[in-house]
């Protein structure tokens, strides 16, 4: 394994990371777009500062675009592969706790996923999106500590009764990256404890 420090919002960084991967391993088979941010200042669109909107979009959506822009040619050089994009359950429902920049950015990830699936499926590249529910990560935990009502609302709507763990998403990502999912393309897969179907 190698580590390439990368700001996914900067094209030069992303291009360098792709080159480093190809040079180290001779090929790239999978793109996994997991970089994402959620800012505590994110909220209702009428109160949302433009700088917050731009920052969230630059990482969550632009970052996915840049990794795909530079990574897809690497996949094509080896005859295909798999792209796994991380979206969010909030892109599939209307949220009572608004986080409009984050929601819009993840909706964009789903739309981009579908477009890439159609464009590059014939060339051997499968593109799919995972929509996680609330996952116990430092990003979510820090937000919920300052928003106890949001925590109560989210947890009450998860039929399985708990927030997700990172490995819950990893298992789905590994499936989508593997040859076991060779006929899965353009899918949006919810891994969310049932929160999407229970959101009202």
Name all domains of the chain by residue range, CATH numbers in brackets.
29-191 (3.40.50.720)
Is residue 31 within 8 A of residue 84, CB to CB? The reply is yes
pLDDT in tens, the chain (200 residues): 899 999 999 999 999 999 999 999 999 999 999 999 999 899 999 999 999 999 999 999 999 999 999 999 999 999 999 999 999 999 999 877 799 999 999 999 999 999 999 999 999 999 999 999 999 988 778 877 777 887 888 888 999 999 999 999 999 999 999 999 999 999 999 999 999 999 75
In the annotation, is 32 catalytic? no
What is the edge-to-edge ordering of all strands in the sheet holding 30-33? 30-33, 81-86, 125-132, 188-191
Is residue 135 within 8 A of residue 158, CB to CB? The reply is no
66: closest CA among 17, 114, 10, 113? 10
pLDDT the model gives residue 96: 76
pLDDT the model gives residue 200: 59
Task: Return the structure tokens found at 1.
Answer: 């394994």
Pick the catalytic residue: 102, 171, 175, 199?
102
Alpha carbons 68 and 83: distance in angstroms, whole number: 8
């Amino acid at each position: 394994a190698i580590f390439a420090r990368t700001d996914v919002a900067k094209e030069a960084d992303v291009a360098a990371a792709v080159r480093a991967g190809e040079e180290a391993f001779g090929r790239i088979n999978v793109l996994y777009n997991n970089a994402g941010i959620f800012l505590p200042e994110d909220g209702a669109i009428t109160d949302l500062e433009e700088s917050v909107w731009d920052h969230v979009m630059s990482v969550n959506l632009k970052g996915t675009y840049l990794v795909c822009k530079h990574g897809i040619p690497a996949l094509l050089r080896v005859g295909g592969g798999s792209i796994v994009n991380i979206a969010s359950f909030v892109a599939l429902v209307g949220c009572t706790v608004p986080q409009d920049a984050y929601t819009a950015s993840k909706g964009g990830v789903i739309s981009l996923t579908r477009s890439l699936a159609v464009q590059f499926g014939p060339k051997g590249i499968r593109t799919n999106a995972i929509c996680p529910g609330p996952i116990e990560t430092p990003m979510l935990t820090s937000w919920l500590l300052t928003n106890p009502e949001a925590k109560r609302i989210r947890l009450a709507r998860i039929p399985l009764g708990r927030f997700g763990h990172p490995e819950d998403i990893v298992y789905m990502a590994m499936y989508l990256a593997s040859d076991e999912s060779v006929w899965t393309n353009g899918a949006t897969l919810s891994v969310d404890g049932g929160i999407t179907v229970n959101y009202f």
